[in-house]
Amino acid sequence: MSKRTLKKIRNIGIIAHIDAGKTTITERILYYTGKSHKIGEVHDGEAIMDWMPEEKERGITITSAVTTFYWKDCEIHLIDTPGHVDFTIEVERSLRVLDGAIGVFCAVGGVEPQSETVWHQADKYRVPKIAFINKMDRLGADFFGTVRQMVEKLGANPLILQLPLGEENGFKGVIDLLKMKAIVWNEQDLGATYKFVEIPEEYKEKGKKYRERLIEKIAEIDEEVMGLYLDERPIPEATLKSVIRRCTIDLEVVPVLCGAALKNKGIQPLLDAIVDYLPSPLDLPPIEGIEPKTDEIMRYPPSERAPFCGLVFKIMMDQGRKLTFVRAYSGSLKAGETVYNPRKDVKERIARIFRMHANRRERVAEIKAGDIMAVAGLKSVTTGDTLCQPEHPIILEPIEFYRPVISIAIEPKTKEDEEKVGIGLSKLSEEDPTFQIKEDKDTGQTLISGMGELHLQVLINRLEREFHARVNVGKPQVVYRETICKEAEAEKVFEKVLGTTPHFGHVRLKVLPLPRESGIKFLRKISPEQIPEIFWPAIEEAIRNTINQGVVLGYPMVDMQIELIGGGFKEHSSELGYSIAANQAIKEAINSASPILLEPIMKLEVIVPEVFMGEVISDINARKGKIEAINRGKGVNIISATVPLSHMFGYSTDLRSMTQGRGSFTMQFLRFDKIS
């Protein structure tokens, strides 16, 4: 792939809170770029990118969908991500492979909780962003209030490039501060055409004021612009765009645009901004990984001449067949060639390669650096695996997954459903790393765990729809964690002849509680004279396996430090001996350290009219929630609280009842904490 072609590629995603308008924007993008011939509306269940039956029924995005289109000679790969907190993993794994993102904000709701979550996910992966303030035509739209929230809640440095031309019912278009022109759209052709006009007289002063602020902000960053500004010379638009592009890629600023996607206003300038300000693969550092045998750091540039290297970021089951979504960072790979998965030490053959458009496929011969495509034929890969050439092994940084917080028991309805349930659950868990399956030994039931009630409900619907597996479903249960409250020590010796082989292990352990969200820390405070180094891995593995099932109710242990502080050695010491001794010692130490359960605490935000405030607050208190803030909005109040998940089942129905259907809420996992 030529350097010039790579420069014309953009890998971007659209991220936002649920109902901010991500899919509506994507549908307009596809229409205006000629990718589709009609605009699919989410509320009609006809959005192209919401292709799953569950998405059409609920009018929300559940799975991230990939498409490719062209704008101004640029090839743009776009991922439309979900906004519901239960499907945050879809955003996480998409952001891991994207070069840029569009953060969409509702002009009425401002920076909502899930917007914060996805924005910080993008920050974690250092993804440059553009902000698009949508729904400027809605009652209560507040452009500058949303920009202010970007600073307060996200710590962003917004760079306002457009102002709304009117607000609410009077929203007509936008004022472009770089060109100092107004843009208005033709409503007769669904906004496909637009024109630049003079800024109306009543907006000229405001336009000049914010143009001046824009130039001042850019001048603070760039010496050339500063020189021109101080000399009061004209600053070319190309110079301003060049500086904005550089600063956006360096995460110094976030360009801010606005519009009303449902009214077909603001999309084409957003497409221009994607091309002008978001990075190509060449604008970012070479991808970095480690050589699996030597742990040496490897860097591959985004070039077809480099060895092939790609990351698996999504698995999709399509009519029972496994499709593997790959972001190619370097090199190229043709259908029929062999690819190596160093994490699993497996070589497999690529059968077919597809360019995806939601769930539709276009077969292609090759995947190259900068591409996001799907491949068929790989059996052993899972999300987060690296694909590379056998002679050039590299392991890229994997994708972090979230811990399930809710579980339900299911069982097949009939004997005929048993096998179908097993196959269906296995395939769904391959797709979704946050979906976990466990057999309850006491009841014989299957426990499935996920990120929320909606997450599990969607998976059960898919089980019945796609795999024809009917199940009986139990009530939702909270997934707890376990920890300890004090220090404790334990010492165990195992010495026994098993068969004809003598085994010996002598281990002394200490456990200490750690602050919340610290995880598990393992320290060795012994010398090889006490226990030879060859046995240390077996001891640690035995301990880690044991703490995956705690002593209170069998939930995983967290927030604990385990120290190996002593032991002994004999000629017939063995890995088995040390494993058994470590297992017994850690159990005794935990039992002596006052083990307790931790429950998931959720961050709750309720948007409610003033008239219902008292009843809603009383209800939150009754659910053992703690009110943290109440923010007054235009006609509504926003209540922020923390509340135990165990008290929140059925809250959606209760809130509708309390507020005559006018209240709404969002809830996301915050932390595990002691049961109050």
**Is 30 within 8 Å of 117 (Cβ atoms)?**
no
75-84, 340-349, 572-581: segment of lowest average pLDDT: 75-84
Residue with tokens 């710590």: 155
What is 112-169 written as a DSSP string? -HHHHHHHHHHHHTT--EEEEEE-TTSTT--HHHHHHHHHHHH---EEE-EEEES-GG
Residue 2 backbone zone (phi > 0: left; psi -120 to 50: alpha; other: beta): beta
Dump pLDDT digits (tens) for 574-610.
999 999 999 999 999 999 999 999 998 988 888 888 8
- 257-267 per-residue burial string, b: 16 or more CB within 10 A, e: under 16: bbbbbbbbbbb
Nearest Cα to 349, choosing from 363, 338, 340? 338
Tokens of 649: 């089942």
Closest CA to 410 of 474, 466, 478, 454: 474
**pLDDT at 3 (0 to 100):** 46
What average pLDDT does the structure give for the chain? 86
> Given this model, what pLDDT does residue 441 score?
60
Q: What is the pLDDT of residues 601-635, one digit of tens each?
A: 988 888 888 888 899 999 999 999 999 988 776 56
Residues facing 447 on adjacent strands = 409, 438
Q: Say what the pLDDT of residue 176 is.
A: 95
528-565 tens-digit pLDDT = 889 999 999 999 999 999 998 888 988 899 999 999 99
**What DSSP designation does 23 have?**
H
pLDDT at 88 over 90: no
Q: Please report where in the chains the tokens 């907006």 appear, as a residue.
A: 203
Taking residues 112-122, report their average pLDDT.
Answer: 80
CA distances from 662 to 44, 76, 115, 609, 658 (A): 22, 39, 22, 7, 9
Q: What is the pLDDT of residues 128-140, one digit of tens each?
A: 999 999 999 998 8
Residue 357 pLDDT: 82
Read off the pLDDT band of 349 (50, 70, 90): very high
Confidence of residue 52 (pLDDT cuts 50, 70, 90): low
Q: With 0.85 as the threshold, say if the pTM is over it.
A: no
pLDDT of residue 522: 93
Contact 286/300 with Cβ under 8 angstroms? yes
- The stretch 303-309 carries a mean pLDDT of 89
Question: Which residue in 268, 249, 246 sits closest to 259, CA to CA?
Answer: 268
Q: What is the pLDDT of residue 240?
A: 93
Res 317 pLDDT > 90:
no
36 has pLDDT over 50? yes
> Is pLDDT above 80 for 427?
yes
Question: pLDDT category, 2, cuts 50, 70, 90?
Answer: very low
Report d(CA 316, CA 421) in Å as an integer: 18
| Residue whose entry in the numeric block shows the structure tokens 């395939």 | 427
Backbone dihedral region for residue 567 (phi beyond 0: left; psi -120 to 50: alpha; all else: beta): left
Instruction: Examine the pLDDT at 668 and tell me if it is beyond 60.
Output: yes
Give kind and range of the element (H or E) at residue 202: helix 201-221
pLDDT of 43 strictly over 60:
no
Nearest to 308 by CA among 352, 279, 350: 350
CB 71 within 8 A of CB 274: yes
Which of 201-215, 477-491, 629-643 has the lowest average pLDDT?
629-643
User: Is the pLDDT confidence value at 257 over 90?
Assistant: yes
The answer to whether the beta carbons of residues 519 and 544 sit under 8 Å apart is: no
Is 48's pLDDT higher than 60? no
Question: Where does 165-319 have alpha helices with state H?
Answer: 201-221, 223-230, 237-249, 267-277
Assess whether pLDDT exceeds 80 at residue 8: yes
pLDDT digits (tens, 9 = 90+) for 171-218: 999 999 999 999 999 888 888 899 999 999 999 999 999 999 999 999
**Which tops the pLDDT comparison, 602 or 81?**
602
